[in-house]
Structure 1
Amino acid sequence: IREHIPSQDGALVSLPLGMEPTKVQSEGGLNVTLTIRLLMHGKKGETVKKMREESGARINISEGNCPERIVTITGPTDTIFKAFAMIAYKFEEDIINSMSNSPATSKPPVTLRLVVPASQCGSLIGKGGSKIKEMRESTGAQVQVAGDMLPNSTERAVTISGTPEAIIQCVKQICVVMLESPPKGATIPYRPKPASTPVIFSGGQAYTIQGQYAIPHPDQLTKLHQLAMQQTPFTPLGQTTPAFPGLDASPPASTHELTIPNDLIGCIIGRQGTKINEIRQMSGAQIKIANAMEGSSERQITITGTPANISLAQYLINAR
């Protein structure tokens, strides 16, 4: 969630809610706090610590055992440029080191992937591609804006490659564009997924496949799945009492209502309803999405089914 704060020169500055804009006078006049997100692979804890100290920028790395991590760099623009310079030179150093062991003679360019709200990508590309062409020509860096949004988000990957110097110049130009045209509406940030392993349900337990082995998968879904398994109405032959004492053979269907902001409803419904149908199938619940009411920024979702169906449907909707 972002709030827009007019800066002294009248431009809107977009900040994650709760972050104070810090006004830092620098030789370039007003220096505005900006947040830039990067996608990276691997762990470089030591390096990051050094970069924080030397650049003065706030650098955070997303948690998790994902092959991809999100690096968030926040600070006055000059500290962001310092941090980027350090990252670009570090990447170049890694390339040089890896080349000393390989027969390749031409040095591959340094490549960085930024994560940018899709609503700002139009300004980066410019009318008929004019802005991105100007960036390529003036910096010598290659700039590519992905055509599709990153999974489950409203952000796109912007890939920059070239020499460290070209990359730094290019990041400076991108920062200017991002400050001039803040994101519109709510941004759903991209969160890298853990290296996905398929989950298999068997006997009320979920397993993930690792190599040739099925390993029990401790997850919320398992608990919900076990609940669903227990509440499946089944009567063993010749037995008319409920199979589980204290549980009716078929639990009464109940109804649960949710409200979802209009701008998020699209990612729940999916293209031509694919996602919502998937959720209906997986949860076994009936899900109705009310039409948008005039003047309301929210949509009503009604879920009907057994308590287990409902909790699984809720879980899957929240996950979306």
Structure 2
Amino acid sequence: MDSSLVEGGLNVTLTIRLLMHGKEVGSIIGKKGESVKKMREESGARINISEGNCPERIITLAGPTTSIFKAFSMIIEKLEEDISNSMTNSTATSKPPVTMRLVVPASQCGSLIGKGGCKIKEIRESAGAQVQVAGDMLPNSTERAITVAGTPQSIIECVKQICIVMLESPPKGVTIPYRPKPSGSPVIFAGGQAYAVQGQHAIPQPDVSEGPSLTKLHQLAMQQSPFPIAHSNQGFQAGMDASAQTGSHELTIPNDLIGCIIGRQGAKINEIRQMSGAQIKIANPVEGSTDRQVTITGSHASISLAEYLINARLSSEATGLAAN
């Protein structure tokens, strides 16, 4: 293990984000949360697990490096134990490796790969684990997944080395964190129109003005908004009034990315305004600042749709940059 991590171990605070399937997470949580409680107590690390209605979940480990690696080792041991248990009823002769996915800001992946892939090759060889950095970003984010596979010991060693590189090269610009989506397309309601969100596009849904499908679509749309859904028609009407209330939201966007939101002769920003029904104002550049202020005004639903479309543009632009 690198001495800089050991010596400054207690002074360095780290955050590691792991992307896992629901089944693996269930095993880590354990019956009545006993397993994760034990991990928290024994490691001293903060362990947060994202919401449960998604096929994928994010586990965030935060704390001093010594606590993080203790928690990480316990998670790996649990996954290794699950593989061993599944082997007892299986006819397979060779044991599959433990596989772990880290979620890392794309702006740090270049340092991890190194010139001509030299850094990642060095990590693979010294840790003895397989390491793969995804070429594309995770949906609606500026983060990439790094898959590490091997023996528990080689994975721990590999992640330590990845953490050292990340501590030496902090992320650049704005990081849009990956949030796993519930299964099925989310629906956003804006300007009296329901949109199903698929990838980076909001697709207008047909106007189903009769039958139970309308309420289903409206309820899905309302879940995207900050107010509660009432089950009676009257409550739904109140919900609609609430969605008509106007508000404003501010975003800070780096100067070098503002062009991808404005588009050629303002085409992109006009498209986002039209689709969301929100007003979007981009402030003039401020001397000495590397960021621009963007103000979105409209109903709660149209602000959330505009923000979603802007983030989708940012992540596709960043993917374009990463691919070049």
Query: What TM-score do the two structures reach when normalised by structure 1?
Result: 0.68
Report 1:1-320 matches (<5 A): 28-31=6-9, 32-42=12-22, 43=26, 44-45=28-29, 46-197=34-185, 199=187, 202-203=208-209, 205=214, 207=216, 216-217=219-220, 219-220=222-223, 259-263=250-254, 269=261, 279-284=272-277, 289=282, 292=285, 294-296=287-289, 297-301=291-295, 311-319=300-308, 320=311
Conserved in 2, the CA contact under 8 Å of 1:206 and 1:218? no
Conserved in 1, the CA contact under 8 Å of 2:284 and 2:292? no
Higher mean alpha-carbon deviation, 40-49 vs 151-160, is at 40-49
1:89 aligned counterpart, secondary structure: helix
| C-alpha deviation, 1:168, in angstroms | 0.8
2:254 aligned counterpart, secondary structure: helix
Task: Please identify which structure carries the higher helix content.
Answer: 2
1:48 aligned counterpart, secondary structure: helix
Deviations 1:16-46 (A, max 9, x none): xxxxxxxxxx9x3221121111111222323
Counterpart AA for 1:314: I
CA separation of 1:149/1:30 partners in 2, compared to 1, >3 Å: closer, same or farther? same
Q: Unpaired segments of 5 or more residues in structure 1?
A: 1-10, 12-25, 209-214, 231-250
Task: Please identify which structure carries the higher strand content.
Answer: 1
Deviations 1:187-246 (A, max 9, x none): 2221111112465563294525xxxxxx953625689x979999xxxxxxxxxxxxxxxx
Conserved in 2, the CA contact under 8 Å of 1:293 and 1:299? no
Count of equivalent residues: 263
Conserved in 1, the CA contact under 8 Å of 2:283 and 2:292? no
Counterpart AA for 2:208: S
Conserved in 2, the CA contact under 8 Å of 1:279 and 1:313? no
| C-alpha deviation, 1:175, in angstroms | 1.5
CA separation of 1:278/1:161 partners in 2, compared to 1, >3 Å: closer, same or farther? farther
Conserved in 1, the CA contact under 8 Å of 2:47 and 2:62? yes
| C-alpha deviation, 1:286, in angstroms | 6.6
Distance in 1 between residues matched to 2:164 and 2:263, nearest whole Å: 34
| C-alpha deviation, 1:282, in angstroms | 3.6
User: What do you get for the CA RMSD once the two structures are aligned?
Assistant: 3.9
| C-alpha deviation, 1:47, in angstroms | 1.9
Distance in 2 between residues matched to 1:51 and 1:314, nearest whole Å: 40
Counterpart AA for 1:269: I
Distance in 2 between residues matched to 1:197 and 1:176, nearest whole Å: 37
CA separation of 1:287/1:193 partners in 2, compared to 1, >3 Å: closer, same or farther? same
| C-alpha deviation, 1:270, in angstroms | 9.3
Conserved in 1, the CA contact under 8 Å of 2:252 and 2:294? no
| C-alpha deviation, 1:312, in angstroms | 3.7
